């Protein structure tokens, strides 16, 4: 699996400077927002995710039709906004399964295919424009998906059971502890986006960040876990108090309204008896 990321790193060497820096900065800022305030911005983020998913389906599955793509994007964004709590739990479970697959499926990837891809990437030295970059990303995604599919056919059943276990645990935690699960999901997602933005920015300098991560996996794994834990704690401390205060104020206002309705009836009943 790490070979796929290294192929992506080598592919970014052909991207233009403006694309690398611009996309790297955008992903870095977006990752920071998701990492530390995803729980508060979940409606916006889930709507954007649904919009992006609808655009991808409209462009690559239905066909390059502006009307159908716009309709699917708007519909997906609306559905994501309506079912945002359920979607957060499902995405968290899918992310847990994807991380487990990345770790456990590494021995089942073909090494020969990645070596060929490495030689092809090294031969290309000309900088690609925006159109060529999008085409290369599409080709890379299709090839990576094919390699993942081939690796999946070689994974035994008991490994698949281990991969599915974190997803099941996240689903159960999402039902019982929705806020904690959602905060953890956004924290992990934000950390991944921050890492991706840093990889793009460092690739502009030619430092080969993925190769450094592969050479020191335990150090970067510890950094990743620390960032994910910190982001989860920050979100729970900052954005759960507000919801509790809102519930308390609603309960108090409800009690006050109840008293206002009861008091006039008591007054009328007292006047009738005195008369």
Tell me the DSSP string of 166-209.
Answer: HHHHHHHHHHH-HHHHHHHHHHHHHHHHHHHHHHHHHHHTT--H
Rounded Cα distance, 119 and 121, in Å: 5
Asked if 30 contacts 76 with a C-beta cutoff of 8 angstroms, the reply is: no
Please spell the DSSP secondary structure of 5-56, one letter per residue. HHHHHHHHTTB-HHHHHHHHHHHHHHHHHHHHHTTTTHHHHHHHHHHHHHHH
pLDDT of residue 19: 83
Mean pLDDT is lowest, of 63-77, 79-93, 166-180, 211-225, for: 63-77
The angle at the Cα of 189, spanning 185 to 193, to the nearest 5 degrees, equals 170
d(CA 143, CA 117): 10
The answer on pLDDT for 252 being more than 80 is: no
Query: What are 117-176's pLDDT values in tens digits?
Result: 444 444 445 666 677 777 888 888 888 888 888 888 889 999 999 999 999 999 999 999
Q: What is the mean pLDDT of the chain?
A: 80
Share of the chain above pLDDT 90, in %: 39
Instruction: End-to-end CA distance of the chain: give it in Å, rounded.
Output: 88
Rounded CA-CA distance 177/241 in Å is 15
Q: What is the pLDDT of residues 167-218, one digit of tens each?
A: 999 999 999 999 999 999 999 999 999 999 998 888 877 778 888 888 888 9
- The kind and range of the H/E element at 67 are helix 66-82
Whole-angstrom distance, CA of residue 38 vs CA of residue 42: 5
- Residue 192: count of CB within 10 angstroms of its CB: 20
* pLDDT at residue 240, rounded to an integer: 75
Global model pTM greater than 0.85: no
128 phi, psi to nearest 5 deg: -95, 145
Coil, helix or strand for 136? helix
Specify the 3-state DSSP secondary structure of 242: helix
**Quick one: which of 223, 2, 266 has its CA closest to 108?**
2
Domain ranges across the chain: 2-245
Spatial distance between the Cα atoms of 256 and 252, rounded to a whole number of angstroms: 6
Radius of gyration of the chain (CA): 25
Cα–Cα distances (Å) from 264 to 251, 261, 267, 268, in that order, read: 21, 6, 5, 6
Distance from the Cα of residue 86 to its chain's centroid? 15
Other beta carbons within 10 angstroms of residue 44's beta carbon come to 13
């Amino acid at each position: 699996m790490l070979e796929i990321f290294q192929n992506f790193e080598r592919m970014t060497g052909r991207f233009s400077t403006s694309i690398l820096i611009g996309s790297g900065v955008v992903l870095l800022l977006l990752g920071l927002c998701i990492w530390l305030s995803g729980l508060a911005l979940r409606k916006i983020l889930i709507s954007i995710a649904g919009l992006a998913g609808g655009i991808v389906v409209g462009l690559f599955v239905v066909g390059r039709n502006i009307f159908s793509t716009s309709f699917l994007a708007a519909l997906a964004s609306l559905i994501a906004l309506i079912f945002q709590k359920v979607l957060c739990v499902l995405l968290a479970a899918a992310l847990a399964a994807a991380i487990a697959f990345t770790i456990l499926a590494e021995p089942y990837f073909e090494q020969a295919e990645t070596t060929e891809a490495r030689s092809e990437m090294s031969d290309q030295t000309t900088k690609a424009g925006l159109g060529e970059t999008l085409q290369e990303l599409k080709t890379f995604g299709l090839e990576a998906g094919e390699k993942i599919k081939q690796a999946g056919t070689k994974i035994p059943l008991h490994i698949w059971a281990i991969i599915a276990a974190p997803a099941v645990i996240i689903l159960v935690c999402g039902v019982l502890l929705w806020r904690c699960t959602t905060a953890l999901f956004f924290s992990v997602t934000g950390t991944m986006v921050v890492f991706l933005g840093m990889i793009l920015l460092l690739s502009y300098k030619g430092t080969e960040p993925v190769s450094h991560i592969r050479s020191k996996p335990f150090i970067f794994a510890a950094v990743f876990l620390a960032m994910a834990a910190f982001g989860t704690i920050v979100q729970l401390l900052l954005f759960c108090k507000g919801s509790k205060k809102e519930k308390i104020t609603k309960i108090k206002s409800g009690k006050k309204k109840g008293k206002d309705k009861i008091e006039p009836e008591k007054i009328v009943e007292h006047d009738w008896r005195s008369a």
